[in-house]
Amino acid sequence: MASYSVRFKQSAAKELERIPFKDRRRIVHRIESLGTAPRPPGCEKLSGEEKYRLRQGDYRILYAIVDQALIVTVVTIGHHRESYR
The model's pLDDT over 8-65, given as tens digits with 9 standing for 90+, comes to: 999 999 999 999 999 999 999 999 999 999 999 999 999 888 899 999 999 999 999 9
Q: Give the start-to-end residue ranges of the domains of the chain.
A: 5-79
> If you write DSSP's letter for every residue of 14-78 in order, what string do you get?
HHHHTS-HHHHHHHHHHHHHTTT-SS-TT-EEPTTSSEEEEEETTEEEEEEEETTTTEEEEEEEE
Check residues 84 and 4 and name the one with the higher pLDDT: 4
CATH number for 5-79 (one of 1.10.10.10, 2.60.40.4070, 3.30.2310.20, 3.30.310.40): it is: 3.30.2310.20
pTM of this structure = 0.89
Check residues 85 and 38 and name the one with the higher pLDDT: 38
